[in-house]
Structure 1
Amino acid sequence: MASKEVVLSAAKQFLNFVNKTPSPYHAVEEVKTRLLAAGFRELREADSWDLKPKDKCFVTKNQSTIIAFAVGGQFKPGNGFSIIGAHTDSPCLKVKPVSKVNRCGFHLVGVECYGGGIWHTWFDRDLGVGGRVLVKNGGRIEHRLVNIERPILRVPNIAIHLMRDMNEKFSPNKESNLIPVLATTVQSQLNGGGGSCDASKTEESKSANQSDKHQALLVQLLCGELQVKPEQLLDFDLHLADTQPAVIGGVLDEFIFSPRLDNLLNAYTSTVGLINSCTGPSLDADPNVRMISLFDNEEVGSESAQGAASSFQEYVLRRISTGGSQTAFEEAIAKSYMISADQAHALHPNYSDKHESNHQPGLHKGIVVKINSNQRYTSTAITMAILREIAGKAEVPLQDFMVKNDSPCGSTIGPIMSAKLGMATVDIGAPMLSMHSIREMCCTSSVLQAETLFKNFFEHYPEVFKSLNF
């Protein structure tokens, strides 16, 4: 086992990543920064690609999905792909296209629930906003990232004196009870932040300016951060985020308390695994292409141009396979293998009855292999055997997870991608608690274990594939 210092060092580097990434756009930008520092170059979908062995490249979609790959030194069209798939999005509250809500002397911000969040955990949290803003700058439209890390929003709970049964059945209405407070009307008017001045505008002028769809104070804050004028704002996609940073926790410094563990942990560790696998000589002898595919919109079904259900990954794979026989792509699929890396449910000490008695993953006990005969997960005996062989070489422990027969089962991008491509796939993840809460929990050792497993996967999959005798 690695020393505690090594485990904590890897965990703290992950914390630095997650604290900078309140939205999928920030996650992709941080991944790009690390790839560029490691010698990868950016490609554009609209350009022609001229790829050679040992090239290291990446391409983005919608600035929220990224595919990065390193071409093996012995790669020829028709050879296989070693792929890790993960996702960049997490359940959150998103600012509505028209978000201005004034009620009872408060300026509120209308939000939409994105994904299957545990929404009661968003009450009484100190919230900022982060995301992207489309800005008109002269004759150009620019994509800008913004991250307001100070607490500007809050969804206040109702006092127990006014809702005596709150502890028995608190189930807030997502439309009417989950609207964050930005400011009071009184202070807004005293500070010149809108109020009666908005009423003087005509309906025609209101519709002509995107900024008028939102609270003036919020628009002023965004414009100040970006150094632009309100009329330059064309549109934006803003995610609310907890301003409390991700931290190491527990009396023994063994836990990570953090937002967005599902699934930034795997987006980050797969990136580190790919980069680390390219630092030694192993890439020179690799017949495969090593790849990470980090998709947006997994939490809402993946059916988007930048989601795993799109043709984006297939197009990238086909372009890399160009130059061989007419069936080079199809030949490559048969030699390829994909890890679908998404977080897994650890045994909950207060709800142990929710777990199948023989499948109870624990913290610090290894990466979890997820199995479901009804194909909510894609793991098969063959794909699990391949992973176990690689994990043995990496000295990373594995655990098995299966839901109870009387329990619903979640899913991942694994079934979507494997069905679309016909590619051998296994579903895995790091064990965690509080999945889909605003503050999730996992163990520090998962970061290093995932990084190590992914690095060894890229280095050893081709030789394990060759060992298959069927």
Structure 2
Amino acid sequence: MREALNQGLIDFLKASPTPFHATASLAARLEAAGYVRLDEREAWHTEPGGRYYVTRNDSSLIAVQLGRRAPLDGGLRLVGAHTDSPCLRVKPQPELVRNGFWQLGVEVYGGALLAPWFDRDLSLAGRVTFSRDGQLDSRLIDFRAPIAVIPSLAIHLNREANKGWAINPQTELPPLLAQLPVDASRDFRSLLAEQLEREHGLRAERVLDFELSFYDTQAAAVVGLEQDFIAGARLDNLLSCYAGLSALLAAGEEENCALVCTDHEEVGSCSACGADGPFLEQTLRRLLGDGEAFVRTLQRSLLVSADNAHGVHPNYADRHDGNHGPQLNAGPVIKINNNQRYASNSETAGFFRHLCQQQGVPVQSFVTRSDLGCGSTIGPITSSQLGVRTVDIGLPTFAMHSIRELAGSHDLAHLVKVLGAFYQSAELV
């Protein structure tokens, strides 16, 4: 099971270079399992026992299994994650020609570690909006091939490089795409139109706009002398999306279960399709109805907010509280912060810890050092939006927000097992 899950994650990461592609990958797997797509613009006709999913902005997805047990009796079992990761996004008018090289201007999305982006084989993917036969259309594209690189400056020209230096994203991050003849120029939108024709067989009259991200073409892999680790891009937080999907597809038919994978977590979640927007509440109200029954159902429900945690890096162990240092391959981590950066409380954390113990899954705790700031997740946002009880958890990782992150190769199976038990748990907190 462990090897199959790890390979499934690797395949999922390869198919999901952007939130748009991640959502499409999730949708394809749900449809293959019999889930029916709902359109937000149309009337919904659902029934007990039905399995449905809905997307918004092509980058967020909610999947719901309506169980045989009435939601008002047993509540909802929700698992939340996010589809976005820090990256380099292409600017609207990105063309740069400098010293005979064609480059693209980029904007940093989220809190990215910038140094690892240098000297990588980069490709480009995302959503393109265009006109065709007088009509608007949008498609996802993925160049797949390594079409760009951000070369480092040689040590001879920057003797202070190994002492650390501030990277200027405006001047130092534009990737190189090609070397051009003297006085030549290239049109980026023409390049996108060519890719639309190659990938979809569509002739775009005019490329109107785009949302495109560079990504590392090196595939994720199980690595290490004893194959202890999974290395790959976008583990934060596609690892949790994949774990939640795997658990949902294996869930029984009795309970009401939901998987919520939203965009824009890395930039605050404040969008129409983010956790700080109305997407989840509007979806649940359409499925469960308004009024007192809706509130009563939520008060019988529980959200497991799954987002990666900081494992203890052996070279930087002093960056952790000595009593709260999560280890890779030692199970999921309950994340706690008394200033409400995480939404766990004693009851929800106790429930999750008890569930892990019942399943024979190791479980850990994380509290950040008292003299360091603490990150946050969709947990507090969703909890405050809906009033649903929440526990924040995640798998320990290294190099969070790097172009290539590292997790334990045993931990995915641990997380899928406990989330599967959560989806089938007859009693919540």
Please say whether Structure 1 and Structure 2 have the same fold, judged by a TM-score greater than 0.5: yes
Could you tell me how far 1:78 is from its partner in structure 2?
6.8
- Asked if structure 2 preserves the Cα contact closer than 8 Å seen for 1:78 and 1:321, the reply is no
Contact 1:99 1:215 in 2 (8 A): no
Which piece of structure 1 moves more, 54-63 or 95-104?
95-104
CA deviation map 1:115-169 (0-9, x unaligned): 0000111011110001111233324433311111111111111111111111102
Q: What is the TM-score of this pair, normalised by structure 1?
A: 0.88
8 A Cα contact 2:348 2:390, kept in partner: yes
Contact 1:390 1:464 in 2 (8 A): no
Distance (whole Å) between structure 2 residues aligned to residue 81 and residue 429 of structure 1: 20
Q: Map residues 369-384 of structure 1 onto 2, 5 A cutoff.
A: 369-384=334-349
Bigger Rg over Cα: 1
Post-superposition CA distance 1:2-36 (Å, at most 9, x none): xxxx3222111110110111000110011011100
Equivalent residue for 1:3? Answer: none
Determine the structure 2 residue equivalent to 1:160. 155
Equivalent in the alignment of 1:206: none
Q: Can you list the C-alpha shifts for 1:337-356, whole angstroms capped at 9, x where unaligned?
A: 00110000000000011010
1:441 equivalent to 2:406? Answer yes
2:317 pairs with one of 352, 358, 366 = 352
In 2 relative to 1, CA 398–145 (structure 1 residues): closer, same or farther, beyond 3 Å? Answer: same
Structure 2 CA distance, aligned partners of 1:223 and 1:96?
22
Letter in 2 for 1:290: C
Specify which of 263, 267, 282 is matched with residue 300 of structure 1. 267
Percent of aligned pairs with the same amino acid: 40
1:89-108 map, 5 Å: 89-108=84-103
Q: CA deviation at 1:77?
A: 4.9
> Is residue 2:143 matched to residue 1:148?
yes
1:341 aligns with 2:302: no
Tell me the distance in 1 between the aligned counterparts of 2:181 and 2:204: 23
Shift of 1:218: 5.7
Whether the 8 Å CA contact 2:192–2:207 is kept in 1: the answer is no
Question: Contact conserved, 1:273 with 1:454, CA < 8 A, in 2?
Answer: yes
How far residue 233 of structure 1 moved from its aligned partner, in angstroms, is 2.0
Q: Which residue of 2 aligns with 1:172?
A: 167
Cα contact 1:100–1:108 (8 A) shared by 2:
yes
Query: What SS does the corresponding residue of 1:19 show, helix, strand or coil?
Result: helix
On the 8 A contact 1:342/1:412 being kept in 2, the answer is yes
Within the alignment, does 1:425 sit opposite 2:399 as a pair?
Answer: no
In structure 1, the residue matched to 2:117 is 122
Tell me, what secondary structure is at the counterpart of 1:86?
strand
Q: Which secondary structure does the structure 1 equivalent of 2:5 belong to?
A: helix
**Is 2:422 the counterpart of 1:463?**
no
Shift, 1:243, TM fit: 0.6
3-state DSSP of counterpart to 1:118: coil
Counterpart residue type for residue 395 of structure 2: A
Q: Match of 1:9?
A: 4
Corresponding residue for residue 32 of structure 1: 27
Letter in 2 for 1:295: T
CA contact (8 A) 1:78 1:331 kept: no
Q: Kindly indicate whether the alpha-carbon contact (under 8 Å) linking 1:363 and 1:443 is maintained by their aligned counterparts in 2.
A: yes
Separation of aligned partners in 1, 2:138 and 2:400? 31
In structure 2, the partner of 1:312 is 279
User: Which residue does the alignment assign to 2:56?
Assistant: 61
Specify the SS of the correspondent of 1:391: helix
- Structure 2 CA distance for aligned equivalents of residues 379 and 243 of structure 1: 36
User: Following the alignment from structure 1 to structure 2, what is the Cα–Cα distance between the partners of residues 419 and 390?
Assistant: 24
In the TM superposition, residue 48 of structure 1 has moved relative to its aligned partner by 1.5
1:263 is matched with which residue? 237
Count of aligned residue pairs for this structure pair: 429
* Distance in structure 2 (CA, Å) of the matches to 1:89 and 1:330: 30
Structure 2 SS opposite 1:291: strand
Q: Which runs of 4+ in 1 moved over 3 A?
A: 76-79, 215-230
1:363-402 superposed matches below 5 A? 363-402=328-367
Q: What per-residue deviation string (whole Å, max 9, x for no partner) do you get for residues 170-223 of structure 1?
A: 221011111100111229x8xxxxx26x7xxxxxxxxxxxxx5x3755654454
Which of 57, 70, 73 is matched with 2:68 structurally? 73
**Cα pair 2:193 2:203 within 8 Å, conserved:** no
Question: Any idea what SS the aligned residue of 2:42 has?
Answer: coil
Deviations 1:279-301 (A, max 9, x none): xxx42x33xx2001100000000
* 8 Å CA contact retained: 2:324, 2:365: yes
The more displaced of 138-147 and 332-341 is 138-147
Contact kept, 8 Å, 2:248 with 2:259, in 1: the verdict is yes
SS of equivalent residue, structure 2 residue 146: strand
Q: Aligned partner of 2:324: which letter?
A: H
| Local SS of the residue matching 1:152 | coil
2:227 is aligned with 1:253: yes
In structure 1, the residue corresponding to 2:326 is in which secondary structure?
coil
Distance in 2, Cα, partners of 1:218 & 1:56: 36
Which residue in 1 is equivalent to 2:16? 21
Distance 1:11 1:247, change over 3 A: same
Q: Is the 8 A contact 1:79 1:331 kept in 2?
A: no
